[in-house]
Structure 1
């Protein structure tokens, strides 16, 4: 069986895979430009998901399984993958630790006025600027109650926060005091001091947050988006900040990435922007390959007990 990697791996990771599965043929490449020459004989493709389109899928006539070693599936030809009944899995959940830590660190950055303190340090100014606040005992609403959302809520509990979860189903989930379906989002937003979105990009979530949602929030609310940039239009978010409907927005994702140098989001004082880095971790590949190897064992053995199977029609 031919297993092709268009995702670059270290020699150490390559050796680990070939030693664990000595009967399989592994083809390791640094990118899809190099890898596409072998797509025709590939049965299993391991990719970051951004390099595989409909044209390449047509060439991969023997393909039975796509393992995406990221959580995002936005750029994959999901409809064609579904038509061919190709197994699609990803590494959902491995980002939960770094992304949850990111949320807490950014909330602390805003509430403790850390940007101003860092600027003072650069200028050698010994001065207290602004009144620091405490994130403890606030209320956090998390839109998206999967593995990442649950970890965010778990850490919030260390700060004695009330946690509200909003999801498609509204089912009860660990670490949340209350759970609601997306249909009730507007109803519960007024309770939140912090609103955190970890929602994926789907037809249902695209531009889900409107100006009406921001107007329903408290004027001191901090909005954090670590899910997908198309959750809210940039113009709407800028308007919400300028009209003081909310106090601050923290964006690790944007509608257009990389965010253009001249994009107006950069110029808004109460918006903090980071370059889609909340999930970055030195343990990223180790965690990704652990899921891949678990699934490969199931694939080879025919048990079909796969982890993180994607419903292609939903996109997650």
Structure 2
């Protein structure tokens, strides 16, 4: 009788593989960066960790054994969700892994825009000594965090170290530690005019697609900064560019874009009040350890006991 299989479609540290084998000693565990490392096993895989383009043609066939997919990222909009739902595949994501690195990136962007660090770096390249009309402080300002998940909560916690007023937005207006006032998405128009910084940490769903358009940017203060580390299509990029050009907002820190890599002719590259990072906000030396130990192993234990994986289980109807 062939052994049940777990396939990691990525190269994993030996320590991670060993921890999986300790929980599932009777299973075959395959890991590899190249398709040749696992292509002969993928059709037999009951559990897959990670995803590759075109993988659905290999493992979502009528005779597929796939029962659980662990996404390596928090975002799942790139996955064949309809096919996965149709085959009743349990889907879990990596939400929560990114709280520390992304919250650090959020404040790196906010502080750089506030204290003109990005301008000084450009000036350093040309050996230009210029004060750049610096005057802003981040202390005691108001931050609006659109999406109070793990990232939003950690961002709110850090904001309190700067004595900021924290306004939170999420589907539920249930109170949250470190958030002074909580609002629902329908009340976004009441939040934006009060914010000095608007930070978007939402997942991309049908409801959040282009949540930010010119109308929302017009509701913000002309002195406010827009930070997006969620997904590029949460904002209408053309209208964001227009708002920046019209000085409807003071600037933006962007880690995500509608098209990635960002096209060379995109106006955002040349805007002095914009900081661009290449979708790296969540990268960290501890990424694999957190996905495996905090999410995958607890879920694997539950799965082997006959239960549904419970950590970060995706509701296909909601899209998150």
Could you state the TM-score of these two structures normalised by the residue count of structure 2? Answer: 0.93
Q: Which runs of 5+ in 1 are unaligned?
A: none
Is 1:84 aligned to 2:83, yes or no?
no
1:1-316 paired onto structure 2 within 5 Å: 1-32=4-35, 34-47=37-50, 49-51=51-53, 53-59=55-61, 61-290=64-293, 291-304=295-308, 306-316=310-320
Runs of 4+ aligned structure 1 residues displaced above 6 Å come to none
Could you state the TM-score of these two structures normalised by the residue count of structure 1? Answer: 0.94
CA distance in 2, matches of 1:172, 1:66: 32
CA distance in 2, matches of 1:126, 1:268: 20
**Distance apart, 1:314 and its partner CA:** 1.9
* Maintained 8 Å contact 2:7/2:48: yes
**Distance apart, 1:14 and its partner CA:** 2.5
CA distance in 2, matches of 1:175, 1:216: 25
CA distance in 2, matches of 1:65, 1:119: 48
* Maintained 8 Å contact 2:113/2:273: no
CA distance in 1, matches of 2:34, 2:139: 45
Change (3 A) 1:315 1:34: farther
* Maintained 8 Å contact 2:60/2:84: no
Determine helix, strand or coil for the equivalent of 1:165. strand
Moved more, 166-175 or 185-194: 166-175
* Maintained 8 Å contact 1:50/1:76: no
Q: Which runs of 5+ in 2 are unaligned?
A: none
* Maintained 8 Å contact 1:196/1:224: yes
